[in-house]
Amino acid sequence: MESNDTTDVAIIGAGPAGAAAAAWLARRGLHVRVIERSRFPRFSIGESLLPQCMVHLEDCGLLDAAQAGDFQPKNGAAFSWRGQDTAIDFRDKFSPGPDTTWQVERADFDLRLIEGARQAGAEVEFDTRVEAFIADDDRPCLTLVDTTDERRSLSARFILDASGYGRVLARLTGLARPSVLEPRCALFTHIEDRIVCPHHDREKILIGLHPEHPGIWFWLIPFRQGRASLGVVGDRAALESAGADDNERLWHLIRAEPRFAELLTNAESIRDIGRLEGYSADVTRLHGPGFALLGNAGEFLDPVFSSGVTIALDSALRAAPLVERQLSGERIDWDSQFEQPLRRGVATFREFVEAWYDGRLPRIIFNAQQTPRIRSMISSVLAGYAWDESNPFVAASRRRLNSLAEACTDDASSAISEVR
């Protein structure tokens, strides 16, 4: 092993969380090294952003880099089930802040962000993986391996893990623990959608529920130039029973939902079917001696409602200022100043995910009787404003979702209007 290399901050992973943290810290004069296992551009799912992301992109100085991608605008989410259609429009939300965002091909989006971080002064090493880690309050250290299997060490004054599904430090430190969410499987692809329906709104992600199996749902995320991301999520056994291989399973299930079947009559896959399963994960804590975990490297919930990139960026913009302050000599309580506030927003998203799968949230979304005020509160959470505790559906998510779902079950418009 070569002699020890050093930096102020080492960041594992060049996705949105890593790029945002790197850009923020580098702009403040810190020496930042980003370690990325793959070579960009590279494919990733998680293509539908939320408006809350725009705040974080601006705060870390990467909004202009992202805007240069000319991505498909997004202003909400449309839902379809058994011939019923409804929509949540982010422009009619309760919380202040941006109300539109983008739907992005992540290969292009992520590359633009990490190049923006590089232009801000961060150094980026692709094709390099982390093999080992030593936690330390003053000089945590990584063992790095390149494509020629050459090993070297990199010590830092602080390390941020933004490795996404790789969850590098969670594995190396034994912090990983099972998620409270049920294990599920996703099949997905990119398509030439060839949609000719004049009423299809390309500025909204389309989410469909299987007409017979409520645990199975679909996404259609339109991009520019007539392309789209298409996927199905459900229990692995249910998906496996739908065909002989993943291609047959995906298209058989898609054809079962009337709206998707109508829109995608002429669609054609332009990449192989991908599979991701057992993706929900958690950790016992999000920080330790000389390190913190960002985004999916800590906890990942579920693809529904597209919270992944929002949580990743939020965690990065919470952690980066604390790193700067700690390296300036300030004592930081990472539990109260980082983990607890971050987890409060994640918990809000988790309540909505659980309400989606147990049927409460579909019952609410497809009920036309809510007041505009209640609808705007739901819209705010789905737009990513899961930390706005002035919103009753953030401050007491479970209780208010339960009350509203019960009112919708009774189909009592007066009861719905009384939910507070």
DSSP letters along 163-189, please? Answer: -GGG-HHHHHHT-EEE-SSPP-EEEEE
The residue type of 238 is A
Confidence of residue 159 (pLDDT cuts 50, 70, 90): very high
As a whole number of angstroms, the distance between CA 197 and CA 189 comes to: 21
Angle between helix 308-327 and 52-59 (nearest 10): 30
pLDDT of 410 reads 56
pLDDT of 412 reads 39
Q: Tell me the average pLDDT across 315-341.
A: 98
H or E stretch at 365 = helix 360-365
- The label of the residue with tokens 């002699």 reads 3
Res 4 pLDDT > 80: no
pLDDT of 370 reads 83
Burial category of 95 from C-beta neighbours within 10 Å (exposed 0-12, middle 13-18, buried 19 and up) = buried
As a whole number of angstroms, the distance between CA 298 and CA 43 comes to: 21
As a whole number of angstroms, the distance between CA 62 and CA 117 comes to: 7
Q: What are the pLDDT digits (tens) for 116-158?
A: 999 999 999 999 999 999 999 999 999 999 999 999 999 999 9
Res 419 pLDDT > 50: no
Mean pLDDT of the chain: 94
Confidence of residue 368 (pLDDT cuts 50, 70, 90): confident
Strands (E), 38-100: 72-74, 76-81, 84-89
The residue type of 314 is D
Res 208 pLDDT > 80: yes
Whether the CB-CB separation of 235 and 246 falls below 8 Å is answered with no
As a whole number of angstroms, the distance between CA 346 and CA 292 comes to: 16
Res 411 pLDDT > 60: no
pLDDT of 103 reads 98
3-class DSSP assignment, residue 132: strand
As a whole number of angstroms, the distance between CA 291 and CA 20 comes to: 17
Q: What are phi and psi of 341, to 5 degrees?
A: -65, -40
Q: Tell me the average pLDDT across 247-262.
A: 96
pLDDT of 72 reads 98
Domain 185-277 in CATH 3.30.70.1400? The answer is no
Give this prediction's pTM: 0.94
Strands (E), 46-121: 72-74, 76-81, 84-89, 101-103
Q: Tell me the average pLDDT across 308-333.
A: 98
The two structure tokens encoding residue 38: 């793959």
Q: What are the pLDDT digits (tens) for 255-294?
A: 999 999 999 999 999 999 999 998 999 999 999 999 999 9
Q: 6-72+98-178+280-344: CATH homologous superfamily?
A: FAD/NAD(P)-binding domain (3.50.50.60)
Q: What are the pLDDT digits (tens) for 121-130?
A: 999 999 999 9
Q: What are the pLDDT digits (tens) for 54-104?
A: 999 999 999 999 999 999 999 999 999 998 999 999 999 999 999 999 999
pLDDT of 278 reads 87
pLDDT of 417 reads 34
* Boundaries of every domain in the chain: 6-72+98-178+280-344, 185-277, 360-408
The two structure tokens encoding residue 20: 């945002």
Preceding peptide of 41 cis, ω within 30°: yes
The percentage of the chain sitting over the pLDDT mark of 90, rounded to a whole number, equals 94
- Any bridge partners for residue 322, and if so which? none
